[in-house]
Amino acid sequence: MEYVQSLIREVPNFPKKGILFYDITPVLAEPKAFSMLIGYFKNRYKNKKITKVVGIESRGFIFGGALAESLSAGFVPMRKPGKLPYKKVAKEYSLEYGTDKIEMHEDALNSHDRVLLVDDLIATGGTAQAAAALIKEQGATLVECAFVIELNFLKGRDKLFPHEVHSIIKY
């Protein structure tokens, strides 16, 4: 994974001053690197009987969709408000200043589903925590939360306890 990590671009002061943004677009532009990531995740989850992969908007869609296909599982998009056309369930979560929420279709998951939650990066964990809660509220089993990048110093994984968390690259 050193190759993949070498492609991640650090962009200071984005999206606002004082934030160091980890840009994965160079990884996505390199077929070998993207394939390595999907292959790594596929190998980790191929025997876990995953029925649905939930991807958090927006970069979680990229990894989640490809991974769902490779695991022969369904893909469920977890979206920002107002983006889904059918009946939705939602979960609000706290931001540094204020709140936000995520939504999914009310019929996307059920009690028979074994779910893998996927996103490109976990920082403070607020969005992933809300997504995990929404998955559980639908009666599905959350097998694990998977991330390409984890910012350890922000302790986002603590918000996901007792759920299993796995990340490939840690800063």
Which residues of 20-164 form beta strands (DSSP E)? 20-23, 52-56, 74-78, 88-94, 99-105, 114-122, 141-150
If phi > 0 it is left, if psi is from -120 to 50 it is alpha, else beta; for residue 125 that is left
Residue 96 annotated as catalytic: yes
Active site residue 9: no
| pLDDT over 70 percentage in the chain | 99
Domain boundaries, the chain: 48-170
Catalytic residue among 10, 30, 59, 157: 59
170 strand-pairing partners: 150
Give this prediction's pTM. 0.96
Residue 51: per-residue pLDDT: 98
Mean pLDDT of 141-151: 98
- Structure confidence at residue 97 (pLDDT): 73
Catalytic residue among 44, 96, 106, 114: 96
What three-state secondary structure class fits 118?
strand
Q: How far from 91 is each of 72, 106, 126, CA to CA, in Å?
A: 27, 12, 11
Question: Residue 21: is it exposed, middle or buried by C-beta count within 10 angstroms (0-12/13-18/19+)?
Answer: middle
Query: Class for domain 48-170, per CATH?
Result: alpha beta
First to last CA, the chain: 13
- pLDDT tens for 42-95 read 999 999 999 999 999 999 999 999 999 999 999 999 999 999 999 999 999 987
What pLDDT does 104 receive?
98
More confident residue, 95 or 101: 101
